[in-house]
Amino acid sequence: MIEYGTYLLKGKKFTVEVDKNIEYQNKFIEKVKELNKGKSLTYSIITMGCQLNENDSEKICGMIEKMGYSRTDESKQADLAVMNTCCVRENAEDKLFGKLGELKKVKEEKGTIIAIGGCMMQEKHIQEKLRKSYPYFDIIFGTHTLHKFPEDLYNALKDKKRIEDVIDIDGEIYEGIPIKRDDNLKASVTIMYGCNNFCSYCIVPYVRGRERSRKPQNIIEEVKCLAAQGYKEITLLGQNVNSYNGGENYKFADLLRDVNKIDGIERIRFVSPHPKDFTDDVIKAIKECDKVCKIIHLPLQAGSTQVLKAMNRKYTKEQYLELAQRIKKEIPEIVFSTDIIVGFPGETEQDFEDTLDVVRKMNYEQVYMFIYSRRIGTPGDMMENQIPEEIKHIRFDRLKALVESQTNENGEKYVGTKQKVLVEGTSKNNEQMLTGRTETNKVVNFKGDSELVGKLVDVKILRNALWYLQGEIEAVQYLSTI
Ligand code: SAH
Ligand code: SF4
Ligand code: F3S
């Protein structure tokens, strides 16, 4: 694990800003270590939600491991069971309550410390439900207090009392939280926090606070440091990355160009841009930066201008299609992926047809499909013209059928082509089989030596199997290893 501050890595010096609040938390890290002295303790973590939450979990793991706990996959065996929650849709909530139910008995027998954090904890009705129906939790912490986990854990252990540490603020940025990453090839780097868009279906702005961007030098230093550790692929994260504001007129396009210059990094991805903020300078940067993958996640949400207006998305069907055209004109090889919600209040059959129409025209590489879920406190929840569940499901199935047929057709187009594949690992069942991803994020399986893991190889695609492609190796591109 990397310790932040100024340090040396493979002979290179890195200086990463450390917030004074994090220095203060380091004291609690020491205090927890002191309390647990002589004990060999384990922790588990379950992450629900998006890549930003996963990146947050890596920070939670960083803090916990610094306190001397080692990870176990089984929460029933852990001394400290952490859940990092999401509340973007109802099914994410159900998952937490199920897990808490399972942990009740384990806690009684073993005294497991139960800590629940993340977006869902920011919601008042959830806090009340936990107090009433699951009073055996030890710590709840929100999105604005994640960095205080060492202090919260120390207080919970020392005083043996329940800690509730959730605040509702616009939000800050805390540089220098230790990170324990899940992968050693691909890494996520959060470039901005919060959201200002208030799409009318979405809970995120209420639980994550206002938009705030990290300083460019902190992001660049983090990526350089990842490159020095052997990471090959970087995903820049934010709820609306193309409204990134690094100060002094330093925008997302500038960041893409600077990250592109970092030696050792082979691929750059980013999620999510908002169509309304997709400026020409970003299109130009994607075109000119060789490491930026030529696939853009361009969330559509709905194809009907009327529904988009009700969703407060601030673009029309035509503007979305025109933007895609403009990008395609500049970068002919570009492909798109998207997010779509079906069954938003007031969505008529004709509106839904508009969504299908855009899907046909865009021919997406990948579509993440969601059934509209009412979120307490959002304008969408207050709308009177809610769509019956049955209709939502029928529409979802229709969309799914269209998407699957497109995905299959798109897969066929790869057969016979040569693709650059970043080798991610060997197949679980067969050491001789490698698995990796194309620039467009398609999984490719092919025969090869495990020494190729971490390298970019040319693979000839032989067969399309709907969820993955099968190929054979042509050439190793670069000889850098992890
Ligand atoms: N900031 C990103 C995505 C955030 S949430 C963006 O704007 O693209 C990820 C996805 O969840 C959204 O794109 C949307 O498709 C979906 N989503 C958000 N709120 C939802 C809700 N109430 N019901 C169903 N899907 C929702
Ligand atoms: Fe939610 Fe819209 Fe913000 Fe994305 S841009 S997080 S969908 S409010
Ligand atoms: Fe992400 Fe879910 Fe929060 S989608 S920002 S973890 S509500």
Residues 2-35 have pLDDT tens digits of 455 666 676 777 777 899 999 999 999 999 999 9
What is the per-residue pLDDT for 476? Answer: 65
In the chain, which segments carry CATH 3.30.750.210? 183-284
Beta strands in 298-355 (DSSP E): 335-342
Q: Which residue has the tokens 């002094």?
A: 248
Q: What 3-state DSSP class applies to 40? A: coil
DSSP character string of 292-305: B-SEEE---B-S-H
Q: Which atom of ligand 2 is nearest to the CA of 203?
A: 1
Residue 176 pLDDT > 90: yes
In the chain, which segments carry CATH 2.40.50.140? 415-480
Q: Which atom of ligand 1 is nearest to the CA of 239?
A: 1
Residue 1 pLDDT > 80: no
Residue 479 pLDDT > 60: no
pLDDT 10s digits, 88-106: 999 888 889 999 999 999 9
Read off the pTM.
0.95
In the chain, which segments carry CATH 3.30.750.200? 294-414
Q: Is the CB of 459 under 6 A from ligand 2?
A: no
The alpha carbon of 207 and the centre of ligand 3 are apart by a number of angstroms equal to 8
Closest protein CA for atom 4 of ligand 2: 239
Q: Is the CB of 368 under 6 A from ligand 2?
A: no
Q: Which atom of ligand 2 is nearest to the CA of 208?
A: 6
What is the spatial distance between Cα 117 and Cα 190, in angstroms, rounded to a whole number? 18
Contacts of 244-251 with CB under 8 Å at 24 or more apart are 244/191, 244/192, 244/213, 245/192, 245/211, 245/213, 246/213, 246/214, 246/215, 246/216, 247/213, 247/215, 247/216, 250/216, 251/279, 251/281, 251/282
SS3 content of the chain, % helix, strand, coil (to 5): 40, 25, 40
- Residue 340 C-alpha from the chain's centroid: 17
Q: Any idea which fold 183-284 has? A: Transcription Regulator spoIIAA (3.30.750)
Mean pLDDT value across residues 456-471: 93
| β-strands 113-118, 80-85 pairing | parallel
Q: Any idea which fold 2-165 has? A: Rossmann fold (3.40.50)
Task: Enumerate residues 6+ apart whose C-beta is below 8 A from 430.
Answer: none
In the chain, which segments carry CATH 3.40.50.12160? 2-165
Backbone angles phi, psi at 307, to 5 degrees: -65, -40
Amino acid 200 reads S
Percent of the chain with pLDDT over 90: 90
Kindly state the tokens that stand for 434.
Answer: 């490698």
What is the per-residue pLDDT for 118? Answer: 98
Residue 117, beta-bridge partner list:
84
Q: Any idea which fold 415-480 has? A: OB fold (Dihydrolipoamide Acetyltransferase, E2P) (2.40.50)
The alpha carbon of 136 and the centre of ligand 2 are apart by a number of angstroms equal to 33
Domain 294-414, CATH 3.30.750.24 — does that match?
Answer: no
Q: How crowded is residue 260: how many other Cβ atoms within 10 Å of its Cβ?
A: 16
Task: Enumerate residues 6+ apart whose C-beta is below 8 A from 196.
Answer: 205, 210, 211, 240, 243
